[in-house]
Amino acid sequence: MPSINPSQADLLAFAERMPGDTPILMLNLLRFNEQAAYGADNPHAPCSGREAYARYSRTALSKVRAVGGEVQVMADVHLSPIAPKDEQWDLLLLVRYPSAAAFLSMLSDPEYKAATVHRSAALSDSRLIGTTPA
């Protein structure tokens, strides 16, 4: 089943389980829709999933930086030698945040929230994995 946006329960578990006093790394695995899945009543021009993600990224990147975060790695995915055969990804992002609280504060930013319409339209599936440097 595709996973695009975290539920409130997911965010609560994240807030409870991620260490609060250390930098975190968020691993993003993204699979794009061929065509962005904007609703019929949405005013945005039709585009590819990658283009819709670029629309989201223009706001998201500024919000990541505003909370003290930075993109560490952005890479196109070509092959997953060890994975279920039906699990394929298009893009990998590794984003560093100064803390879990910084990440959560970004999610609550009104401009960021408004931009997520592009992320949701862009993706057919995703994973967001919270980690701490070892």
**pTM of this structure:** 0.92
Residues 14-48: b if buried by 16+ CB within 10 A, e if exposed: beeebeeeeebbbebbbbbbeebebeeeeeeeebe
- In DSSP terms, 75 is beta-bridged to 92
CB 131 within 8 A of CB 27: yes
Domain 8-131 falls in which CATH fold? Alpha-Beta Plaits (3.30.70)
Mean pLDDT of 113-134: 95
pLDDT in tens, 3-44: 899 999 999 999 999 998 899 999 999 999 999 999 888 898
Q: Which residue type does 77 have?
A: V
Q: How confident is the model at residue 86 (pLDDT cuts 50, 70, 90)?
A: confident
CB 53 within 8 A of CB 30: yes
pLDDT beyond 80 at 93: yes
Specify the higher pLDDT residue, 85 or 126: 126
DSSP state of 2: -
C-alpha–C-alpha distance, residues 124 and 4, integer Å: 7
